[in-house]
């Protein structure tokens, strides 16, 4: 009989999610800063966007494998993916995010704060605007890659559509594949 799951140092599953998420974001940020030092901001941003898009496809492949699903076809399934991804990326103690199913073909994701703002200020690219920060551009590329990989029947497109009180707001739309 297998021993019950116990993590070393009396770490519980929620704390482990936070630890993994924090370490992943730290790795991502350190990789980016090292790339900027070697190739400059513009080329590092391009490489980051390519890498994040690849990661997005891997994330969905692994979710499908884990859940036994071939496809996420409904906007409700996509909303659940965005909810789950917030734990993966933001950890348990992440900022608030509203995931709103508008209709059968539209989802709105609004983060209560932009992750990019404090990162940009600490990393020396605070001269850029929200939505132009490397994490913001990586985030939209990740979502675009998800949109292509979510479903075999539908394509999900994403646009950044900020409002005055929601600077980090994205709209995901579903349409049949041609």
pLDDT at 3: 73
pLDDT at 5 over 90: no
Buried b (16+ CB within 10 A) or exposed e, 31-60: ebeebbeeeeeeebbebbbebbbebbeebb
- Share above pLDDT 70 across residues of the chain, in percent, rounded to a whole number: 98
pLDDT at 150: 94
Query: In residues, how long is the chain?
Result: 178
How far apart are alpha carbons 148 and 155 in whole angstroms?
6
pLDDT at 174: 98
pLDDT at 115: 78
- From 3.60.15.10, 3.30.1380.20, 3.30.365.10, 3.40.50.300, which CATH number describes the 11-176 domain? 3.30.1380.20
pLDDT at 152: 93
| Residues facing residue 101 across a β-bridge | 107
pLDDT at 81: 95
């Amino acid at each position: 009989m297998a021993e019950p799951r116990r993590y070393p140092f009396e770490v519980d599953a929620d704390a482990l999610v936070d630890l993994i998420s924090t370490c992943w974001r730290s790795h991502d940020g350190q990789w980016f800063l090292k790339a900027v030092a070697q190739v400059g901001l513009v080329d590092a941003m391009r490489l980051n966007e390519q890498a994040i898009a690849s990661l997005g496809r891997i994330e969905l492949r692994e979710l499908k494998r884990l859940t036994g699903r071939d496809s996420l076809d409904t906007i409700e399934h996509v909303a659940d993916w965005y909810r789950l991804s917030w734990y993966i990326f933001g950890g348990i103690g992440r900022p608030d995010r509203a995931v709103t199913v508008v209709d059968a073909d539209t989802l709105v994701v609004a983060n209560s704060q932009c992750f990019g703002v404090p990162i940009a200020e600490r990393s020396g690219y605070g001269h850029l605007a929200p939505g132009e920060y490397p994490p913001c551009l990586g985030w939209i590329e990740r979502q675009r890659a998800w949109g292509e990989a979510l479903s075999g029947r539908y394509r999900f497109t994403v646009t950044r559509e900020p409002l005055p009180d929601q600077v980090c707001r994205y709209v995901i739309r579903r349409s049949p594949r041609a």
